[in-house]
Amino acid sequence: MTTIKDTAEEWEVRATETPFVGNKTSVRTDDVVMPDGSVARRDYQVHPGSVAVVALDDQGRVLLLKQYRHPVHMKLWEIPAGLLDIPGENPLHAAQRELYEEAHVKAEDWRVLTDVYTTPGGCSEAVRIFLARDLSEAEGDRFAVEDEEADMEFARVPLAELVQGVLAGELHNNCLVVGVLSLSAALASGGVEQLRAAEAEWPARPFEV
């Protein structure tokens, strides 16, 4: 294990307010005491956290979906993902739900691929990205979709092709980029057996097993 690792730390907050509360997230303003004793105001989005799934089939292809993202005015190729909007929800259960709802697929083998903060300078969102294998079509009716999801496209793309697309600047979704490169690195350095168990501890978003 590497000796270079992130560490938890809590700086003093002199005052806090929440100027905006949305449907799933909010904006918080904190007055934070700096190491030199000065106080700096920090605005950031409070986020419940997310899960994402690199679903790898037996032909080495990754399951993708293409969805319109209004803030960036683009249709992005992405991996299945969703919010942890149920307090204390087990992230594995959430990832299994998202894979079913977005792609109508289930998987028998699950592992933690990586954990990331998407934009730690301005948002508290933490994402756990899973690797899912041994895929099969889910039973029952497909989940009803609405809004942007009603226009989604689907594809299964070889991992090597996705790595090339990321490095060429043609793929931009952060979970796809991190997930694809993490899986490629794992396969090149010992294989997926080295990955953490699907129920591995996640200090950023504690959960019930």
Q: Which residues are catalytic?
A: 149
Q: How far apart are CA 112 and CA 11, in angstroms?
A: 30
**What is the enclosing helix (H) or strand (E) of 162?**
helix 159-167
Quote the longest CA-to-CA distance of the chain.
60
| Dihedral angle of Cα 105, 111, 113, 114, to the nearest 10 degrees | 110
Which contacts qualify for 66-69: CB closer than 8 Å, 24 or more apart? Answer: 66/152, 66/153, 66/154, 66/155, 67/148, 67/149, 67/151, 67/152, 68/148, 68/151, 69/148
Angle formed at CA 184 by CA 206 and CA 74, multiple of 5 degrees: 75
Q: How far apart are CA 51 and CA 58, in angstroms?
A: 22
Centre a 10 Å sphere on the Cβ of residue 20 and count the other Cβ atoms it contains.
Answer: 12
Give the single-character DSSP code of 142.
P
